[in-house]
Every structure is written in C-alpha cells, then in structure tokens.
Structure 1
Amino acid sequence: MGATRVETKDFGSQIPYAEPPWLCGLPSPYIRDSHRKLQRAMRDWVEKTGKKSSRLPQDLYKACAEAGILMPMAAGATIPQEWRNSYPIMGDIEASEWDGFHDFIIHDEMTRVGGIGIPNGLIGGLTLCIPALKKHGKGAAIDRMIGEALSGPEAGSDVQGITTTAVLSADGTQYTVNGQKKWITGGTYAKYFLTLTRTADQGFTLLVIPKDSTVTVRPMEMCGSACAGTAFVEFDDTVVPVTNRVGEQGGGLACVMSNFNHERLFISFQAMRCARMCLEDAISHAITRETFGQELASHAVVRHKLANMAREVEALHSWIETLVYQLGNLNERDSIARLAGQTAQLKAHSGIVLERVVSQGIQLMGGLGLTRGGRGERLERIWRDVKAITIPGGSEDILLDLSIRRAIRGLTSPTEPRKSAKI
C-alpha cells in the first residue's frame, strides 16, 4: 500500500491546534473534496458576514437562508429527497453527497463567530424542531411551516417542560393550550413554537403553536448566548388546530426523543470549535506575551498547561469524527439503540473539555481573559457561554448516568445469583 500524499497547503489560522488536522493538510479517512469545498465557502461567508452583537441582526436569518445554510443545518446528516433542488446549499454541494461531516463542518464554521449565541439564535430552533416536524408531522399545514422555517425565523423550541396542558375539543378539531414555558431557544424571534404538552390521556402530545394574541413572549436575560433569543412564553387559552399536531395523540415524547442524538451531537460540534478558539488564543498569547524578559511559552509550566489543553481538544475531535462516521453508517433505529449512550457521553465530555480549556486559557491570559474586547475577548465570551453548552441537551450528571445505564442494560439477570470473585 502506497503512502498517502499529505496536502501541504495551510488554510485558516497558523496557530497550532487552531484548526482540525485535516484542514492543516494531514490525511483523513473521512474528508472528501466536497467537505473541503464546503469549509472554504463557509469560512469565507462567516468572515464577511459574521458580526459581534448582543441581538441577532434581523437581516442575518434571511442571508443564511439565501446562502444555503439553513436547510442543511435543519436536515443534519442527510438531506431529504423532497428538499433536494428546492433550497440552496452552501458551496453548491450536491445534496446526494451530503453527510454527517458536512453537518459537522457547517456547525464548526458557524461557531467561529466567537461563541454560540449567534449560531443558536439562527439555527437552534431549526436544529431542534425541524427534524421532528419532518419525521413525524403530516399534512399541508406542517409542510407550510417547514417551508417558512427554512426561509425565515419561525421556529422556537422547548422539549423539556411538561406542565403545559392541551385539551382536545369535543369535536376533535382543535386543542386549547394553557401553561408556561421557559428557556425556549429562538423564542424571541419565533412565529411558531414546537411545544410538548400534557393531554387528558396523561400522555404527551407535540404541537406546533402559532404566535397570536393569546401567546405572550418575554425575552430572558441570560448570562451568555445572548443572541440565542431565549424566551419565556405563556399560553392563555391558545387555540391550536389538530392539523398542527406532530405525530399521534400521546406520542409526543417519542417524537422528541428521536432527535436527541442530533441535538447532542450539534452541541458537541459547538463545544469543539469553542475549545479550539480558546486554545488558539491562549497559544497566541503565550508566544507573544513577555514576562520578566521572557516569552510565556518559554516556561515549562506554561507549555505543560498548553499541552494538556491540546491533548483534550484533539482527543475530543477524534471522538466526534468517530461517532459521526458510526452514526452515518447505521440506520436510525440502530443508531438510537446502539449509539444513544455514546452520544450522550460525548455531549457531556465535550462540555467538560470546554470548561477546562476555557478556564486554563483565561488563567494564562490573566486580566485580558476577563476583559470584553481586546485579545481575550473570545475567551471571556465563551466563559459566559460555557454553561449554555453543558446544561441544554442534558446536564453532565444525567447524560453520564444515562450512558452507563444503557451500556450495562441486560448484562445481568436478577434471577441469577451473583458469583463472588475468588482471590
């Protein structure tokens, strides 16, 4: 077997570990020309369009739709047949070529704006809502909402709260919804809310609720991810046609759970790029900052700190690539059965890595890392955003427990006596 030719041309940052290995010219078994083409197109678009803001610019969502970013992000690893040729795709990538690594790249590059606020405001609702609508929704009303969401800021999400009630009318044509929801991603911008409700059968039913005069939306002041448009929403006798139901009556929880792998994976993508940015800025600071007549990087203790940050970042990237490949080569049923635990574990681990890396990066940069603006700006912003990575999609404790429970399920039988180990 001949040696693999190594691409020597560099792209992006020249700081070590600031880019994925394949983007630095190293061979990869996963990356094809279409992935490189997408990365270059996304990098160029983000560099020209991305801007610092505490609120999502009104024209940015439409710009994303026209550039071919929204539909692929909503689709995930596979673009549905009926969406092909209906929406643009960034980089003019063929829909038939699209896979999980394209999905990884588009999230990775979008996060380079310097945090997760703008990406979550743009595509948080899409990524959480549209897969469930596409998979379980039926009828012209649902199709219309999907079309609107892929071209404008229409979708908000809350798949956690379950106290909101939905009462079906006697004639079976509409629901009356009452209750409150918190922490709805994109809620400030949304015209529709994908909402898990409690119905009379004590089950959970998923509804798409249009925003009208009976729906009150209040922005929530969050410590980070300001552009995500997180909102508090109240429904007061809100009437929802039965055609807006997603899936069957009482089947809402299954609809929500079917998207957990996708949700947790894209959060891991965001954490990955945030960690790289923290490491990039820490290394850049260490090789230029002088103390007592010497560069910071000349001190072994500083290099050791950077090395530990780098090994965690590179290990996380490799794990993400492995899981993306595995998910892409299993059908949906098998990926949920066999990889839901690993995906939960990856999401938890990505948050753990990001917390450590941003903390160490700020420690190295000192006061600069605590300052809004200047060389430490990205670390300061990511420090505020980090809990918006570790908590949504399942907290670390819950996900790690879930991963092990799934791993050991069925390994022991309660009817068989346990055998003691002999020494």
Structure 2
Amino acid sequence: MSHQTFTREEVAKNNTEDSLWFIIDSKVYDVTDFIDAHPGGEFVLKQVAGADATEAFYNLHRQEILQKYSSLCIGTISGETPKVIEHNPGDLSVVPYGEPTWLTPQFKSPYYKESHRKLQRAMRIFVDEEVYPVAQECEKDGKLIPQDLIDKMSKKGILHMRIGPGKHMHGVSLMDGVMKGEEFDYFHDLIVAQELVRANARGFQDGNMAGMTISLTAVLQFANNEEWKNKIAQEVFSGKKKICLAITEAFAGSDVAGIRTTAEKTPDGKHYIVNGTKKWITNGVFCDYFVTAVKTDKGLSVVLIERQEGVETEAIKTAYSPAAGTTFITFDKYGLLGLNPLSSGQTNEVDKGPSRIKMLTLHSVKVPVENLLGQENKGMHVILSNFNHERWMMVCSVNRMSRLVTEECLKWSNQRLVFGKKLTDQPTIRQKLAKMISHCEANQAWLENITYQMTLMPYSQQATHLAGPIGLLKMFATRSAHEIADEAVQIFGGRALTRTGMGATIEMFHRTYKFDAILGGAEEILGDLGVRQALKNMPKSML
C-alpha cells in the first residue's frame, strides 16, 4: 500500500469513470481500471464514487477481499487511522470464541505446554501459507492433492504426526525443529488435526492423506516382518507412496463382519487370491497400497494389497469435491466384465458387435501371504485397533470446523445491517449464536478431557475405558454440527446456499457436515456402543 495521504475533499473530486476513487476504513482505493473487472458489476462502484464506502462494503464483504485487491489501495486519509484488523499468516482470531480458550490470552489451561503453543503457531502459518490456497483450488476444480504439497508435509514431519504418538515419531524433527518427535503427545496430535481443518475445504480435507491416517497404523502395529514394515513406512512417510484403508463395501458399512471380499490361498500356500469390491474408500483413486479386510477360510483377515493388474479403482461422485479421491475398488480374479474364469495371463475374445472385438487380459489379484497383517482369521482385532483414534480425530476436526462456522456467523451478524440495525441487535440471532457457541465450547472441553485420559493410558486401556466415551462424544459432536449448520444457514440466508462469496464457508459446511455423522461409525452405532459399554460396567448391587 502507498504511504501517500489525501483529504476527503480530494477523494470526492475523483467521482467519474475516468477517475473513480472511494474510501474504505480510512484507506483510499483507485478502481478506475477495475470497474469492468468488478464481479458485482460497474454500477455498484459508481454508486460510491468519491465517497466513503466503508458501511456499504462491509455490509457485503469481508476484510479478506480488500487484502486480495490491496494493489488498488493508493493511500490513506490524512489524520485518520484504519480500524479494521488485517489477518496475516499465523494470526489467531480476535473474534470471541473464534479460538478454543487455551489460545486466548485471558484464559489458562493445564493441558498445554510451550511445545504445544510452538507447534500450533508453526502449523497455523503452514496451513495459511501452503495448505489453504492449494485446498481452495483443489476443492474448486476437483483435482487431487499435488505431490509438491505432500513433499512439503513430509519434510515438515506432518505425515508422521498424522498417525499420532508412537515409535514412528522417534528421531523425527517436526516443523523445522520446533520440537522433537519423542515429545509428541495426543494434545500435539489434536493441534495438528484442528489446524489442518482450517484449510476450509471438506473434500480436500479428506483428500489430504486421510486414508493414510487410518491405514498405516495397521502396518506399523501388525506387520509380521520388521524389514517389510519399515520399507512400507518409509515409502509412505516420504510421500513417495500412498496408502488407504479398504474395509467398507456396498453390503457392509458399520457391519464390518458382513464383508464379502474373499482371500483364498493358492495350493502352494504362498499367496492369497483376492476377489471382491470395496466402496467409499477415501484416497483410493491415487493410492499404491490398500489395507484390505477380507474373508479367509475361518474368519476375517486383513492383508496389504499393492496396486497391480486386476486392482481397479474408479472415482465415486459425492456431495463434496472429487479432491477426496473417494473410490470404488474392484479386486477381480476373473478380470473385467465378470467373465468366466481363465488362468492368469490368458486372453479371451468378447464379441461386442460386428465392428468391435475387445481383447482382455485376465490377471488374478495375488497377494503374498507375508502381506498378512496380524493373524489369519483374527482381522477384527486389527480393524478395531484404530477405531478409537480415527473417531477421536474426527471429533477434533468436526468441532474445529463447527467453531470456524460459528466465527463466520459472529462476524457476519455483527457487520450485516438489516432495517438499519446490525443482525446482532435481534434477540433471535443472539439466541442462535448462543446455541452455536455452547455446542463448540462443550465439545472442546469434553474432547480435551478425553485427550488428557489418552495421554495417561496405554492403547490397550484406551480400548477398554475410552471406546464408549469417544463414541458418545463423536455422536454428540456430529449432532452439534447438525444444529450449527442449520442455525448458520438461517443467519446467512440466501448467501448460505451459494458456493462463492460471503456464505461459501456456510454452504460447504451445510453440504458436507453429514459425512462426519456417518464415517468411522454412524451416530446411532456409536451411541449404542457408548451405552452398551456403560451397562456392561453397571455394578451388580444396582440390579
């Protein structure tokens, strides 16, 4: 911005198409060459030519728009100081309840140490500068996460952090030396999850290696060969290879035991032949490895399948952006189109009419038995082992996104003028805001309490004592998201239904919040889990 100063009288003289200036928050903008490019049309700009457009601008736009077009600012009004706070990368929100209480100066927390604050600051800057712009573009055009961003996250240790605390963190420098991997605990984990959500793009949020966070853990915990495990981990943490979790099927969602994909051993016992399908698999479109639930001869097992001929992935259209890489996967030992079985490598001619004969090469999906994770026929233990962390991470995310939506509503209702008054002058709007704030604060407090318990318990105890509470918290957090999305739409009105402009965040949240109510276990399933666990621990004296 230029440091030149002007009087209001000087600005008032520039009120024609040949020289069109106006004032916003004591800053002078020359939009003469911008009139034709203005998204709202030239008439809007001509209405405020030479005048103070502060009230008109903030009744329609946010400060971020001015920062986007900062090159149009030619100076300030002499003797006046701008009042609006500009956002810079890494800045905390100054909006009440825009941040969890531990990040606000007037409140204290027993949970967070200096390393947590340093990590939060580093993550906030990285997300603002690197992730947010990429996420917005990917969400808009449906493209998958670019490799250069994955490489940056790998270098910063973010891919390691997404898996949570553990031995894989040892010796890893995080965010260019902000802290050591050995110090990483579940509160650091919470910070990473909540900061990444601020990229504000639900499809990209899942596309940003979410499949890795729920699948690589199975390899780290249950691989039967240390050298092979380290190879897979190194490839994935470096960003060179991608991995996802392939459990859900069209016939088996929350009912994991109902899967139909089979794995039959070859006569020599050295391989499994896998046949079946998986559906709604996050990141599957671009993955190299698939941690896959299969039916073996006497039960459920989990195997790591490497992408090969016979493994086919097809993108699924969802309510959010294709950037998530949501996938339908086919593991087909018979080849394409459900043909009769032929030996591997054999060809078959299929008559598609007089003008087309398609040659298909059929390949069995063969998986070395060494790729078994855990024990054969005891795969349910492998599958359940990461559910608590997955659901906990989803709570971290949905609650942070709910807070971001609440912050947007606080901003909008404080600046929007209706019938000559701010929206916040209306008691009904204040009641809506009160409900939204209460849900965010209650869920964050419950989340931090559970997170504290996680820091004190080995994973075996977490499974015993926290599966129910985490399930109940996820159920309530996604119910809260429902309430918050509904109230936000009412506050923003028609803007909440458009994907651009002031209501874009609200539209995205309202369109996609239901994903969290289904993924990782539906609300009803998790609520029932929580109650069943409680009933199991009822004292007999109460019977």
Shared fold (TM-score, shorter chain, > 0.5):
yes
Residues 1:88 and 1:24: Cα distance change in structure 2 (over 3 Å): closer
Q: Which of 454, 462, 470 is 1:327 aligned to? A: 454
Letter in 1 for 2:143: R
What SS does the corresponding residue of 1:188 show, helix, strand or coil? helix
Aligned to 2:4: none
Output the TM-score relative to the length of structure 2.
Answer: 0.72
Q: Which of 155, 166, 170 is 1:84 aligned to? A: 170
Aligned 1:229-240 pairs, distance under 5 A? 229-237=325-333, 238-240=365-367
Aligned to 1:159: 247
- 1:91 is displaced (CA, Å) by 5.5
Unaligned runs of 5+ in 2: 1-89, 250-258, 334-364
What SS does the corresponding residue of 2:331 show, helix, strand or coil? strand
Letter in 1 for 2:332: D
Q: Deviations over 1:166-193 (max 9, x none)?
A: 0012222110000000011110110111
| Alignment of 1:68 onto 2:148 | no
Q: Distance in 1 between matches of 2:509 and 2:243?
A: 25
What SS does the corresponding residue of 2:332 show, helix, strand or coil? strand
Q: Which of 134, 143, 165 is 1:55 aligned to? A: 143
Letter in 1 for 2:465: R
Letter in 1 for 2:378: G
- 1:144 is displaced (CA, Å) by 1.4
| Alignment of 1:17 onto 2:103 | no
- 1:89 is displaced (CA, Å) by 4.7
Q: Distance in 1 between matches of 2:400 and 2:503?
A: 16
Q: Distance in 1 between matches of 2:381 and 2:173?
A: 29
Aligned 1:139-150 pairs, distance under 5 A? 139=225, 140-150=227-237
Q: Which of 348, 351, 354 is 2:478 aligned to? A: 351
- 1:194 is displaced (CA, Å) by 0.6
User: Are the aligned partners of 1:224 and 1:388 in contact in 2 as well (CA < 8 Å)?
Assistant: no
Q: Which of 197, 203, 206 is 1:117 aligned to? A: 203
Q: Deviations over 1:271-325 (max 9, x none)?
A: 0111011101111110000110000001111111101110111001000000000
Aligned to 1:135: 221
Q: Distance in 1 between matches of 2:158 and 2:169?
A: 13
Letter in 1 for 2:113: R
- 1:357 is displaced (CA, Å) by 0.7
User: Are the aligned partners of 1:72 and 1:79 in contact in 2 as well (CA < 8 Å)?
Assistant: no
Aligned to 1:363: 490
Output the TM-score relative to the length of structure 1.
Answer: 0.91
Whose RCO is larger (CA < 8 A, sep 6+)?
Answer: 1
User: Are the aligned partners of 1:225 and 1:385 in contact in 2 as well (CA < 8 Å)?
Assistant: no
What SS does the corresponding residue of 1:308 show, helix, strand or coil? helix
Aligned 1:85-234 pairs, distance under 5 A? 85-86=171-172, 88-89=174-175, 92-139=178-225, 140-152=227-239, 153-161=241-249, 162-201=259-298, 203-224=299-320, 226-234=322-330
- 1:119 is displaced (CA, Å) by 2.7
- 1:138 is displaced (CA, Å) by 2.3
Q: Identify which range, 10-19 or 144-153, moves more after superposition.
A: 10-19
Q: Deviations over 1:381-403 (max 9, x none)?
A: 11122121110011111110110
Q: Deviations over 1:90-130 (max 9, x none)?
A: 66312222111100000101000113322321231111011
Q: Identify which range, 113-122 or 318-327, moves more after superposition.
A: 113-122
Q: Distance in 1 between matches of 2:247 and 2:504?
A: 32
Higher-Rg member (1/2): 2
Q: Deviations over 1:320-372 (max 9, x none)?
A: 00000011111211111111000111111111111111211111000111111
- Could you tell me the percent identity over the aligned residues? 33
User: Are the aligned partners of 1:193 and 1:208 in contact in 2 as well (CA < 8 Å)?
Assistant: yes
Deviating above 4 A after TM superposition, structure 1's stretches of 4 or more consecutive aligned residues are 86-91
What SS does the corresponding residue of 2:491 show, helix, strand or coil? helix
User: Are the aligned partners of 1:71 and 1:87 in contact in 2 as well (CA < 8 Å)?
Assistant: no
| Alignment of 1:272 onto 2:399 | yes
What SS does the corresponding residue of 2:94 show, helix, strand or coil? coil
Aligned-residue RMSD, C-alpha: 1.8
User: Are the aligned partners of 1:115 and 1:274 in contact in 2 as well (CA < 8 Å)?
Assistant: no
